[in-house]
Chains A and B, each alone.
Chain A
């Protein structure tokens, strides 16, 4: 019975593997520096390691957003997120599993009359902005560093490329590990409260109940990488910006660093130790980070190199994904509860005053800044595309 319920989580894991995991090696495969087969095998192994060894932190944060307390509810929430990601992937849009699962959990909160944890939602929504911004900053800085290093060392181009190729595989493995650690929460996080499994002792190590679920989810991610990620890898690697091998290396490394930062409890603990605020352990959208990293490289090279149309279509997915997943989760929960009579969860944390008013206030609180950011990005896009058009027209005129 448990296995039947987690199939939707496994499906979500498969879509994550097909879509988000490909971001780790997309640039490397798109620039033809690493073959797809090699990339897929490395990604699969390290995603599993990351999920099992370091997947707990981000899962806790997601659990705080909404503790889905029935297997039927967890099944439906994961299914809604999985279907959203699957259909958007089929439409050729790089979507985010993080946004899909967050939208679906909020849909569950609405359906079961549970209050949304404002603090957890703030942390998650903040990473929707800080993730790509950090990715862009890392990419810009690292690319600058790589270029300076290239100028300083007089190594032959072919030798340099062989270093980059090895570097790409190493940082790709690191990226896959971080992705597993960070994004397994999206896949299996909702099942942890409703499926309490007994720890399994292997003698030299013990797998907790959550780790067993994470392991199953990671296997599903690996299956998604191996079976369906080729097309998306080539899209991410080539559509947005024509990538050199150096740029591909930087994109993978900056993405890996961002995902690692938001999933490492050791790093967060270290921050506290030196008197700084802890780093929130939050599932980050790898798609957004990779787009941010590509943007960082694009800014370094000059903004005319960026294919703004692709960037615009990705940005629209950021809004449509959580909304679509939330609405779909609400509808599916209604059908599962009323037609199949399956328990989808109950209210454990009802809103303190008027429930609807509180939920509405939370939505308004986070929607307004999000809308402002989206509007600013859209205006920037319009200005840049207008400049580009003028530039092209002038070029044609003078030619």
Chain B
């Protein structure tokens, strides 16, 4: 029984650590975009290296949590959903890393008139993911609080869609100085940033249904 208690405690700590890793990853992503758009490439590369480490750490934690849950038959009924939730959360940091990698590899040209738009798009998209974390933590401790915390996720996801739409409209309708290739490239990069809030929304949907079942 003491072995079981220790596993339980360790697993609880590891789940919290997993959430911390994702949360820090999102902050790094926002800072990384800010650094790139402002032309601070050294800081950008530091952020890229950090997010790469964090993504690896999140993967390792995710696998070990899944493994322990199966081996020690922990939460047998909710296990598949929890595993799916962890996978969805991991998808957020994966997307954030991929986004920064796209910037690093493709070096998109960001016109100065779009600097502010890019930073605020990364900010709201990152906010959607950031607001998801308290809800995910609440599922394990206060499931009745999940729904009210998720409202902010949905709000920021909508704001991201609006911001991305406005930016794409601005690029294609107002910025005639850009070539079609540049416009398409910006649209592509924008889409990558948007993906973070979309992943957060998918995780939020799953979390909402899990919380309802937990409450019944």
Q: Which residues of A contact B (CB under 8 A)?
A: 31-33, 35, 147, 150-151, 154-159, 161-162, 166, 244-245, 301
Contacts and interface: CB of A to CB of B under 8 A. Distances in A.
With most chain B CB atoms within 10 A of its CB, the pick from A35, A157, A158, A301 is: A158
B12 A245 contact: no
Nearest to B215: A147
A158 B77 contact: no
B105 interface: no
A159 B12 contact: yes
Contacts of B214: 157
B74 A161 contact: yes
Contacts of A162: 4-5, 8, 74
B77 A154 contact: no
A156 B141 contact: yes
B205 interface: no
B169 interface: no
B4 to A, nearest CB: 7
Interface size class of B (residues with CB under 8 A): 20 to 34
Nearest to B142: A154
A263 B215 CA distance: 35
Contacts of A156: 12, 15, 140-141
Given A161-B74, A162-B74, 19 more contacts: A31-B76, A150-B143, A151-B142, A151-B144, A154-B141, A154-B142, A156-B12, A156-B15, A156-B140, A157-B143, A158-B12, A158-B15, A158-B74, A158-B75, A159-B9, A161-B75, A162-B5, A162-B8, A244-B216
A156 B5 CA distance: 13
A158 B139 CA distance: 11
A155 B76 contact: no
Contacts of A159: 8-9, 12
Residues of B contacting A: mostly: helix
Contacts of B76: 31-33
With most chain A CB atoms within 10 A of its CB, the pick from B1, B5, B140 is: B140
Nearest to B140: A157
A154 B140 CA distance: 9
B141 A158 contact: no
B73 interface: yes
With most chain B CB atoms within 10 A of its CB, the pick from A33, A156, A159 is: A156
Contacts of B12: 156, 158-159
Interface in B6-50: 8-9, 11-12, 15
Contacts of A158: 8, 11-12, 15, 74-75, 140
A163 to B, nearest CB: 10
Contacts of A31: 76-77
Nearest to B74: A158
Contacts of B77: 31-32, 244-245
List 6 tightest A-B contacts by C-beta distance, closest first.
A32-B76, A157-B140, A156-B12, A162-B8, A154-B141, A156-B140
Contacts of A33: 76
Contact of A157 (B141, B144, B216): B141
A264 B142 CA distance: 39
A158 B9 CA distance: 8
B81 to A, nearest CB: 12
Contact of B216 (A35, A161, A301): A301
A244 B76 CA distance: 10
Contacts of A245: 77
Interface in B179-216: 214-216
A156 B12 CA distance: 7
A31 B78 CA distance: 11
A36 to B, nearest CB: 12
Contacts of B144: 151
A155 B9 CA distance: 12
A145 to B, nearest CB: 15
A147 B144 CA distance: 11
A294 to B, nearest CB: 15
A245 B78 CA distance: 10
Contacts of A155: 141
Interface string B138-152: 011111100000000
Contacts of B11: 158
